[in-house]
């Protein structure tokens, strides 16, 4: 398959799934919810791999296995990658490495196809443009923290968003290289407010927000000032230049709401290194 035919096939399949789920090209998706809607079981396992797809056998649902040893944003992309194997009928696959490189024996047209599908499904080009424009940011001049903010909206990793923008000619190679000089850990240190123990974090600025926000215990969540929080699952820490800082204390599902920005979302918190079905990941501890 040519690169153009691979892209068209991936884009067509991603759009078909969004239409099937009643989502437009601007809605952020929870890939775990997508799989559940498509009757694909997702299970987190304590295995050192990226992901595995097991096609339907003996009447059992097709299953995606994901390593709990990978960061949450990486699991999101890996899940979309494995879902690609499912929707394109590739049969059972195991992916030991997710950072495929052109020219390596393992990076065949099918892998390129599902990688392209995963990127388009999770980060539609129209939505990327819309989210930057909504905030008055230009893709060519936006800061590293700006890009991280947008990656949180889509629920993907910072590097994943940057590389997706580069591959789709939204930014130059020089801009991508400049953005990739930092890491989420360095960005966390750059936010003024208080000294935070290194941990994964998400920024929700209220200008647009996903309907569901997935976290793990001890993750930080930055929310607009004045956001109301249900329950005691999120502990307030301090204020910062990008919003109020909260830390996830325990698993469960709570609602956050901000009347000033007219947004509300469900925050779903799971235990670190959770093993089990994705649909049960945020059940509260006994």
From first to last of its 286 residues, the chain has per-residue pLDDT tens of: 788 899 999 999 999 999 999 999 999 999 999 999 999 999 999 988 889 999 976 567 899 999 999 999 999 999 999 999 999 999 888 876 544 444 444 568 899 999 999 999 999 999 999 999 999 999 999 999 999 999 999 999 999 999 999 999 999 999 999 999 999 999 999 987 567 889 999 999 999 989 999 999 999 999 999 999 999 999 999 999 999 999 999 999 999 999 999 999 999 999 999 999 999 999 987 6
As beta bridge partners, residue 146 has none
pTM of the model: 0.93
Distance CA 200, CA 71 (A): 8
**10 secondary structure, DSSP code:** H
In three-state secondary structure terms, 263 is: strand
Query: Do residues 15 and 29 touch, judged by C-beta distance below 8 A?
Result: no
Instruction: Using DSSP bridges, classify how beta strands 63-67 and 93-95 pair: parallel, antiparallel or unpaired.
Output: unpaired
CA atoms within 13 A on the CB side of 9: 17
Q: Quickly list DSSP for 167-216.
A: HTTSS-HHHHHHHTT--HHHHHHHSSSS---S--EEE--SSS--SEEEEE
CATH numbers and ranges of domains, the chain: 3-122 (1.10.10.2910), 126-182 (no CATH), 196-280 (2.60.40)
Nearest-CA neighbor of 139 among 128, 123, 154, 152? Answer: 128
As given in the structure block, the two tokens for residue 160 are 């994943």
CA angle 175, 179, 185 (to 5 degrees): 180
Nearest-CA neighbor of 42 among 72, 12, 62? Answer: 62
**81 secondary structure, DSSP code:** H
Nearest-CA neighbor of 74 among 27, 15, 125, 31? Answer: 31
């Amino acid at each position: 398959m040519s690169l153009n035919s691979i892209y068209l096939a991936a884009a067509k399949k991603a759009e078909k799934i969004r239409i099937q789920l009643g989502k437009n090209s601007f809605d952020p998706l929870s890939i775990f919810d997508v799989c559940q809607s498509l009757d694909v079981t997702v299970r987190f396992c304590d295995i050192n791999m990226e992901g595995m797809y097991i096609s339907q056998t003996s009447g059992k649902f097709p299953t995606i296995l994901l390593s709990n040893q990978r960061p949450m944003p990486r699991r999101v992309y890996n899940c979309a990658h494995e879902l690609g194997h499912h929707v394109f009928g590739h049969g059972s696959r195991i992916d030991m490495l997710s950072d495929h490189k052109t020219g390596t024996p393992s990076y065949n047209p099918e892998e390129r196809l599902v990688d392209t599908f995963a990127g388009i499904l999770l980060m539609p080009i129209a939505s990327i443009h819309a989210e930057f424009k909504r905030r008055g940011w230009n893709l060519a001049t936006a800061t590293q923290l700006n890009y991280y903010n947008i990656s949180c909206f889509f629920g993907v990793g910072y590097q994943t968003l940057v590389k997706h923008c580069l591959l789709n000619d939204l930014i130059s190679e020089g801009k991508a290289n400049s953005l990739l000089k930092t890491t989420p850990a360095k960005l966390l240190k750059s936010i003024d407010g208080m000294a935070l123990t290194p941990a994964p974090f998400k920024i929700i600025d209220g200008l647009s927000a996903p309907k569901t926000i997935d976290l793990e215990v001890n993750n930080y969540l930055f929310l607009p000032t004045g956001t109301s929080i249900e329950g005691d699952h999120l502990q307030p820490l301090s204020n910062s230049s990008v919003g109020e800082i909260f830390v996830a204390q325990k698993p469960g599902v709570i609602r956050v709401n901000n009347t000033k920005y007219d947004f509300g979302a469900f925050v779903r918190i799971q235990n670190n290194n959770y093993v089990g079905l994705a649909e049960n990941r945020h059940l509260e501890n006994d």
